[in-house]
Amino acid sequence: MDAITPIHISEPYEDRPVNFLGVSGDSGWQFKIYSIVYKKNTPPDERTIEMAKQFAKDSIEKYHYIADSYGLGYIIIHKGMDSNFIVVNWWLGENMICTHAFLSPLNNEYLYQEITHTGMNVCVWDALIHCHERDAWVNFIMKKPADPDVKGYIEEIYKCK
């Protein structure tokens, strides 16, 4: 058996604040926007939030052919320890989430590059929001197939525990 690579964790786990920044969109799409901020980083500014909205709009327009898309989803802007992330997620094909991730270095916070192809797009802090949004989708949309409650889904916001 091959040796397991030693695990190095630079800091012990700490909860990070999650803030709801509002809902953005137009008649064709609506995204809830959340931020997560590492204790030594700064909250997202208006420019970053606008970039995230544009990434969301571009992503759903670019990948509309994959499956039926409802224009509903959520964005996570994570100002992290060693880089910044924007993770765009939207629902399609009844029960699938499409995720696209963008990364910027700390020293150039507006230089976001798409990293979806790397598979790196969900961290332990983001997973809390993904789990909440999954439950909201199931409860407000999938359990009500005859009359999905879009308003209920949009209004169901993750709150830090």
Angle at 19 (CA atoms; ends 139, 105), nearest 5 degrees:
115
Strand partners, 83: 105
pLDDT score at 93: 86
3 state SS of 117? helix
User: Over the stretch 65-112, which tens digit does the pLDDT of each residue have?
Assistant: 666 778 899 999 999 999 999 999 999 988 999 999 999 999 999 999
The candidate with the shortest Cα–Cα distance to 86, out of 117, 49, 39, is: 49
pLDDT score at 82: 94
pLDDT score at 109: 93
pLDDT score at 2: 72
Dihedral pair phi/psi, residue 146, rounded to 5°: -75, -25
pLDDT score at 161: 61
The candidate with the shortest Cα–Cα distance to 69, out of 94, 99, 101, 33, is: 94
